[in-house]
Amino acid sequence: MAGILDLLNSDLGKTIISGVAGSTGNDSSKTSSVLTMALPVLMKAMQRNASTPQGAEGLMGAIQGKHDGSILDNLGGLFGGGVDDNVKQDGSKILGHVLGAKQQGVEKIIGEKSGLDAGSVGNILKVAAPILMGVLGNQAKQQNVSSSNGIGDLLGGMLGGNSAQKEQSFLESILDADGDGSIVDDVAGMVLGQATKGKGGIGGLLGGLFGK
């Protein structure tokens, strides 16, 4: 199964990055940095939420209904005339549901690492969240995931399956941070300093992004 960061490196990913950058008025390389950091964090948060039967059913319902992947069929239309406010409102609801009280802290930390203010990060994530849900819906169809029992495995596979525990702890630490960034700086130094360069999954990509 293709991981979420493989997707960002694909032609579809480049279309998403340039479209999100254009629609939010941000630099493409910084938008790419934000998405490369944020999408695994969002997926890790979804994986946490899906660890309860109620959370898994809610996510399954969303990707079988509104977020079935059809948004990916017309990205040109989505980005062409500027992203519709309904899409952004939907993205805002997704972020609130997935990240809850952690949302501001996550946006602040990713902003500090990418060189953008938290508001710009928030705008990028509002546009990206419905697209991420569409990617999940699409993958669920391809993998024949039709019940809430398989949603955790689907998310785990897209996060890199058996990715190194250090990378997982890094994602957990962003989600557990209280927003001041200090915990994450310590963890980022520890994790990314040891992350292998090159292919090394999330760690390798994050390592490059954080300049480690």
What pTM was computed for the model?
0.83
Q: Is the pLDDT of residue 205 over 60?
A: no
pLDDT recorded at residue 189 = 56
- 183 or 107: which leads in pLDDT: 107
Secondary structure (H, E, C), the chain: CCCHHHHHHCHHHHHHHHHHHHHHCCCHHHHHHHHHHHHHHHHHHHHHHCCCHHHHHHHHHHHHCCCCCHHHHHHHHHHHCCCCHHHHHHHHHHHHHHHHHHHHHHHHHHHHHHCCCHHHHHHHHHHHHHHHHHHHHHHHHHCCCCCHHHHHHHHHHHCCCCCCHHHHHHHHHHHHCCCCCHHHHHHHHHHHHHCCCCCCHHHHHHHHHCCC
Q: What percent of the chain has pLDDT over 90?
A: 59
pLDDT recorded at residue 156 = 87
